[in-house]
Amino acid sequence: MQTKNRLYQDNIGGGLILRFVHRQAWLAQPPQKTLADLMLPVSLVIVLPTNSDNCSTQAQCVLRVRLRQTFDIESLQEDDIAFNFVIGGDGNVYVGRGWNQVGAHMSGYNVRSLSFAYIGSFQNQKPSAKQLSVTHLLLERGVSLGKISPNYRLTGASKLEPSITEYKADQLYQSFSNWTHWS
Give pLDDT tens digits for 54-63: 999 999 999 9
> Can you give the pLDDT at residue 12?
59
Alpha-carbon dihedral angle through residues 149, 151, 157, 161, given to the nearest 10 degrees: -110
Statement: 39-174 belongs to CATH 3.40.80.10: yes
DSSP symbols for 62-97: HHHHHHHHHHHHHTS--SS-S-SEEE-TTS-EEESS
Query: Can you give the residue ranges of every domain in the chain?
Result: 39-174
Q: What is the pTM of this model?
A: 0.91
Alpha-carbon dihedral angle through residues 141, 55, 48, 50, given to the nearest 10 degrees: 130
Low-confidence ranges of the chain (pLDDT < 50): 1-9
> Can you give the pLDDT at residue 3?
43
* pLDDT tens track for 60-102: 999 999 999 999 999 999 999 999 999 999 999 999 999 999 9
> Can you give the pLDDT at residue 16?
75
**Closest alpha carbon to 153 in 116, 120, 102, 123:** 116
DSSP state of 162: T
**Closest alpha carbon to 111 in 30, 42, 32:** 42
What CA–CA distances, in Å, run from 1 to 8, 11, 48, 59, 158?
Answer: 11, 16, 38, 18, 45
Tell whether omega for the bond before 49 is within 30 degrees of 0, i.e. cis: no
Pairing of strands 93-95, 148-156: unpaired
